[in-house]
Amino acid sequence: MRPRALRPQLKRDPLDSTYNLQVVFDNPRRLFDRYFCKHLAAATPGFDENLAQEVRVRLCQVHALHDRILALERDMFSHELRGNPPDADPLAAKFVLHDVASPPCDDPQAVLRPFTRADEMRVLLESFYYNASRIRDLFRDSDRGLPGLRAFESTGIRDVRNHLVEHPTRKRGVKVMAIGVGGPIGPQLKPMRRGRDPAGTWDAGLSANAQEFCSSLESTLKTAVGARAV
Domain coordinates in residue numbering, the chain: 2-103+115-225
Please tell me the pTM assigned to this model. Answer: 0.84
- Between helices 49-83 and 117-140, what is the axis angle to 10°? 150
Q: Return per-residue pLDDT of the chain as tens, 230 residues.
A: 444 443 433 334 444 433 344 568 999 999 999 999 999 999 999 999 999 999 999 999 999 999 999 999 988 887 766 666 665 555 556 778 877 778 889 998 999 988 988 899 999 999 999 999 999 999 998 778 999 999 999 999 999 999 999 888 888 888 888 888 887 888 999 887 777 777 888 899 999 999 999 999 999 999 999 844 44
Question: In Å, what is the CA distance from 70 to each residue of 10, 86, 95, 145, 219?
Answer: 17, 22, 15, 34, 25
